[in-house]
Amino acid sequence: MPYALDKLCVLVIDDCEPIRELVRGMLRSYGVRDVCTAESGAEGLAMLKSREPDLVICDIGMQLMDGLTFVRAVRNPAICEDPHVPIIVVSAHTDEKMVEEARESGITEYLVKPITAEALLSRVHQALARPRSYEYGDDPVDPVDAGAARRPDG
């Protein structure tokens, strides 16, 4: 299913401003008009409430609240109003243990640094087209129904 990228709201979370601006620029080059940024997981959680993004792109290795702690908080319905929002995490780590830990935390997609515009676009489409099920506590959660209402397909 094609997605109208110009109708997406994307939240980019990274504690490094040049990386936030790089990702913002890549997204805008593909037509995403509404890109908001946060420099920490805590700021990102606040922006989830005020902006209601269609997609989140989050670095794993941040200070104070790392990316996986952020993902776990988002997936907790007691903390986040939209625990089904697709989340792409970005990391320089490629080891299997880190990828598995990220998947278990509830990510939708994993993107390895260095980021290319093509890889980013591919992950954006994958995250929107194929939301992953995840577990919160002992309960499996299938975000497909929740995600269908969110998809901006023009």
- Give the integer Cα–Cα distance in Å for 135 and 141: 6
How large is the average pLDDT for residues 102-121?
A: 94
Structural domains in the chain, CATH included, are 5-150 (3.40.50.2300)
pLDDT digits (tens, 9 = 90+) for 123-137: 999 999 987 766 666
For residues 55-80, average pLDDT: 94
**pTM of this structure:** 0.86
Q: Is 35 left (phi over 0), alpha (psi -120 to 50) or beta?
A: beta
